[in-house]
Amino acid sequence: MIKLVLSDMDGTLLPQGGEHVSYRTVKAIRALLDAGVRFAPATGRQAYELDQRFFGARDCYQTAITANGKRVYVDGELRREILVERSVLERLYNLLADVPNTFLVVETADNWGGTRPWYCVGARAGDAEWFGRNVGFLAEACDALPDEPAISAEIACAGSDEQYEAILAQARELVPECDFATSQVHWADVMPRGINKGFGLGVLLDELGISVGEALFFGDADNDLPLMELVPDSVAVANATPTAAEAARWHVGDVADDGVAQALEELVLAQRQDRTPAFMQGTWQPPVPDDEDGDEAGEDLASEMIHQLLAAHLGPELGGEAGPVGGASGDAAQL
């Protein structure tokens, strides 16, 4: 019997760059809660961002794993918090200081309402604005680390795929006590080793008195792997990365088609009928969208986002002409 459902946000409950989840998703979560099953987002985002993305439907995220496991809430109360060490920030700042197109993003721990900026240390203004707009935060380019304690840190790269992978390899060697997980395009979450969504799950299960065998998790990306490895009934949406899709036990529809909401509706119905949900038997097929080219369109959108990033923000050293936003204005197709 499933007693707790967890779900990633971006790419799972709502499309990348989406402002909020669908109304169908909210209805499905509320039906789940009415059936006596707990629901908890498990995300790299903070609680105030959940308020925005659930457009104020707070009953949907009163219990949550946020900041990739560094903050855990139960019934609206913060039960656990882990900050990013200052020495980690300083080493990463020094590493990135001389790397073109790449910078460190820091959110201070006192940004409870989301009114304070995330500091893009060493970033050009245009690059900071682009990531702020596409990831969804208030960005401020600056030249020095903030003095306040930090709840989150990310590496952002407005360069090529090769440059992004190279800087992550250097960061892993320089800061071995941290893990680096890609959650969005050229965006890596910096996590104290062992502190991730899986760690947050352990805290949450202890608080709720629920076993991992009574949990269900939906995800789509590599930073969801710690949860997929821990939760026997892990589920990947159809748009998941190949690694996440392979790690998941079960599979449901695409985020663009409300795949998780469809699965939650089936789960509630199965609970009422005292049976195993069809998608947990490998026999359930979500409704096929009218657009037969949906998968291809999704791939084109992801490719377009990367090309937009490269065209708008690559520096002159990679063949682009500096534009007013601080990056290149070259043709993305030529990069």
Q: What is the CATH number of the domain that holds 200?
A: 3.40.50.1000
Tell me the backbone φ, ψ of residue 230, rounded to 5 degrees: -90, -35
Of 175, 192, 209, which marks where a domain is finished?
A: 192
Q: Which residue has the higher pLDDT, 56 or 295?
A: 56
Q: Which amino acid would we find at residue 157?
A: C
Q: How far apart are CA 109 and CA 102, in angstroms?
A: 23
Answer whether residue 330 shows pLDDT above 50: no
For residues 67 and 212, membership in a common domain is answered with yes
Average pLDDT over residues 135-156: 94
Take residue 232 and report the two structure tokens written for it.
């026997």
Q: Tell me: the pLDDT tens digits for 280-325?
A: 997 766 555 554 444 444 444 444 554 455 544 444 443 333 333 3
For the chain, what is the radius of gyration of the CA atoms?
20
Q: How far apart are CA 118 and CA 113, in angstroms?
A: 12
Task: Tell me how many domains the chain contains.
Answer: 3
Q: Other CB atoms closer than 10 Å to residue 151's CB: what's the count? A: 21
Q: Is 289 within a domain?
A: no
Average pLDDT over residues 248-255: 96
Q: What is the CATH number of the domain that holds 126?
A: 3.30.1240.10
pLDDT at 233: 97
Q: Is 225 within a domain?
A: yes
Residues near 107 by beta carbon (within 8 Å), at least 6 away in sequence: 46, 118, 119, 137, 150, 151, 152, 153
Q: Is 307 within a domain?
A: yes
For residues 232 and 213, is the Cβ–Cβ distance under 8 A? Answer: yes
Of 157, 172, 192, which marks where a domain is finished?
A: 192
pTM of this prediction exceeds 0.85: no
pLDDT at 322: 35
Tell me the backbone φ, ψ of residue 271, rounded to 5 degrees: -60, -40
pLDDT at 161: 93
Take residue 84 and report the two structure tokens written for it.
């990013």
For residues 99 and 66, membership in a common domain is answered with no
For residues 256 and 326, membership in a common domain is answered with no
316 lies in which domain range? Answer: 294-334
Q: How far is CA 243 from CA 128, 220, 298, in A?
A: 29, 9, 18
Q: How far is CA 8 from CA 12, 66, 314, 329, in A?
A: 6, 10, 30, 34
